[in-house]
Amino acid sequence: MRQAQYKISIATRGKGIVEFTREVKRWVEGQGIATGLLTLYCRHTSASLLIQENADPDVQTDLLNFFEEIAPENRPYVHDTEGPDDMPAHIRAALTQTSLSIPVVKGAPALGTWQGIYLFEHRSAPHTREVVVHLLGE
């Protein structure tokens, strides 16, 4: 049984979701681990992780609109010193994922046909986000 770790830096352009499935797959494939467990961990409280459909970009538009409406910027928040987009960002992060666990089968993450791995940026300004990737198996 072996372990490997890796830190991915993801540059975002402000609010939106950024797919990084290919980078994760390539890294896993390079580790020579046939069977195992892959963990992704987002080191932020105003960005999060998401498994979503990677076929139709319209899905992403609707998702973003939904999260804009469910936790809108124009609500009165107590915590507003970091800008109107900050508290909604924390709420949207709480509603999605900080960590994801994906079994590795035959040397690759067991993603479904239409599943992509996304970093969900909740702040308006571009940021560099860190995702820690952990792999365990043999």
Residues that bind its own copies (CB under 8 A): 1, 3, 5, 35-37, 39, 41-46, 50-53, 56, 58-59, 61-63, 66, 70-71, 77-79, 81, 87, 90-91, 93-103, 105, 110-115, 130, 132-134, 136-138
Least distance from its own copies to the Cβ atom of residue 10, Å: 13
Tell me which amino acid residue 44 is.
Answer: H
Least distance from its own copies to the Cβ atom of residue 31, Å: 14
Least distance from its own copies to the Cβ atom of residue 47, Å: 10
Q: What DSSP line would sit under 67-88, residue for residue?
A: HHHHS-TTS--S--TT-TTHHH
Nearer to its own copies, 13 or 45 (CB): 45
Return the residue matching tokens 């067991």. Answer: 110
Nearest partner of 112 among 24, 51, 34, 46, judged by Cα: 51
Helix/strand/coil for 64: helix
